[in-house]
Amino acid sequence: MTISTEPIGSIPRPLYLQQAMAAFANGQIKADELEKLVAKATQETIQELEKTGSPVLSDGEQAKPSFVTYPLQGLASLAPDGVIIPFADGHTRQLPKLTAGPFHYTAFANSYLRKAQQYSALPIKQAVISCSAISLLYPQDGIEGYSRDQFLADLVDDAEADIRTCLNNGAYKVQIDFTEARLALKLDPSKQILAAFIDLNNQVLNRFTADEKKKIGVHSCPGGDHDSTHSADISYSDLLPFLFQLEADSFYLEYAAEPNKKAVLESIKENLKSNQQVFLGVTNVLDPRVETAEEIRDLILEAAAVIPIEQLGTTDDCGFSPFGDDTSTAREIAFAKIRARIDGTKLAENELASS
């Protein structure tokens, strides 16, 4: 009996890379200098992930300025005063705003995947941003000569290409980061925004065959950043009936930090379709304490009593550093938590096999 285990994605960047990214933004170093340090950090991250025993790797998103904005690098038609995302501790993140059309991605996640594949023969998954998150760039007052409908049509085309090029180049899985799902419920309890987000993402997902969807997953969490979240106060029970309507086969959910785990498991059991697999977060990325393998084993066994074992996998609650400037978690802690997840998953496998 094997329990699948996968990383979410981001690993805290080493200090030298964070400093180089800041220097590049200020015009103090050239692009080729930054690229060399990105390559170094990516190789080091992959090597450290291999040491944890992880059967599936990621590039740790070392090259991304953030998990949201990588498709916008160098895009000229942006203003800085877009949607503001407030976090529970009082800090905010602000998205840019599109000022002119047509809109197209300027970078695709496949570029990160191909570079990561140079450093390991193990399976590598690639995270991409949801098209619903990028849809927030379009201003409420519109853009002259470029309708919202045309923007969404262009966006869906590029979101499909972002996933498809990764699949075509051998990604083990493509994970769609959909962290705005819970935030949508917080902003609009009527669920109309969330329903619109689900529909938009399904427009992309329905362009893939059933076999292709087996390699596509969706990650949803309450938006971890600087040890805070934007929507942890929203119940999973309100989200999951919508989330599992997405036409994907794998779902990666926060679980370790959830206060009411029994309700989460019951909601998953009620809404999970027979072709879908759920990967539960068994490490709390906002807590610096490293979980023991035995604690993680017990979390998994608790879940396996409710969710069919063939539909259960493990992951981390969220990425450890979704934004490049997030220094709240040390790299060594991130790798230690991942190792604990791997070891705890093996302990649970052994326990279930012997029972």
pLDDT tens digits for range 95-108:
999 999 999 999 99
Q: How far is CA 264 from CA 54, 61, 276, 284, in A?
A: 26, 28, 16, 16
Q: Which residues neighbour 33 within 8 Å (Cβ) at sequence distance 6 or greater?
A: 20, 24
> Nearest 5°: phi and psi at 277?
-120, 140
Instruction: Give pTM, 2 decimals.
Output: 0.96
**The domain at 4-354 falls in which architecture?**
Alpha-Beta Barrel (3.20)
For 257-283, what is the mean pLDDT? 96
Helical pair 180-187 and 192-205, crossing angle rounded to 10 deg: 150
The whole-angstrom distance between residue 63's C-alpha and the CA centroid of its chain comes to 15
Confidence of residue 65 (pLDDT cuts 50, 70, 90): confident
Q: Which pLDDT band holds residue 228 (cuts at 50, 70, 90)?
A: confident
Q: Which whole-number Å values give the CA distances from 35 to 40, 63, 109, 155, 180, in the listed order? A: 9, 8, 16, 28, 30
Q: How confident is the model at residue 301 (pLDDT cuts 50, 70, 90)?
A: very high
**Residue range 129-158: mean pLDDT, rounded:** 97
For the stretch 322-351, pLDDT in tens is 887 777 789 999 999 999 999 999 999 999
Band the pLDDT of 276: cuts 50, 70, 90.
very high
Taking 80 as the threshold, does the pLDDT of residue 1 lie above it?
no
CB 326 within 8 A of CB 68: no
pLDDT at 272 over 80: yes
Average of per-residue pLDDT across 169-197: 95
Angle at which helix 236-243 crosses helix 180-187, to 10 degrees, equals 120
Work out the mean pLDDT of the chain and round it to a whole number.
95
Calpha distance 164→147 (Å, rounded): 26
| Average pLDDT of span 187-206 | 96
Asked which of 17-21, 277-281, 326-330 is least confident by mean pLDDT, the reply is 326-330
| Domain regions of the chain by residue span | 4-354
Q: How far apart are CA 355 and CA 353, in angstroms?
A: 6
